[in-house]
């Protein structure tokens, strides 16, 4: 069996309209806040959750959306 591979160059770029998103997560029960562009909102969620539950371990995480764009289509074998 013969495999055919196509090589191309791709680049990642941050989605311009989407800022970095942050959310807080409780390490005791696993509940997490909605993600928000404002880190303060994620921390406030942790404080409110601590006040309600007395859970004491938290994680603040951030993520970002990217677009993948083909910058060089490369060489496709056997194309004519």
Q: Is the CB of 2 or the CB of 54 nearer to Zn ion?
A: 54
Which of 24, 26, 42, 58 touches Zn ion by CB under 5 A?
A: 26
Strand partners for 66: 14
* Alpha carbon separation from 32 to 14, 17, 37, 47 (Å, rounded): 24, 24, 15, 12
- The footprint of Zn ion on residues 36-65 (CB under 5 A) is 53, 55
The neighbour count for residue 4, using CB atoms within 10 Å, is: 7
| Least separation in angstroms between CB 63 and Zn ion | 21
Q: Which residues bind Zn ion (CB under 5 A)?
A: 26, 28-29, 53, 55
């Amino acid at each position: 069996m013969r495999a055919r591979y196509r090589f191309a160059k791709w680049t990642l770029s941050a989605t311009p309209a989407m800022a970095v998103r942050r959310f807080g997560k409780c390490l005791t029960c696993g509940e997490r806040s909605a993600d928000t562009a404002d880190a303060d909102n994620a921390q406030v969620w942790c404080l409110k959750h601590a006040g309600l539950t007395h859970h004491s371990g938290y994680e603040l995480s951030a993520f970002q959306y990217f677009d993948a764009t083909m910058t060089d289509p490369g060489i496709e074998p056997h194309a004519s």
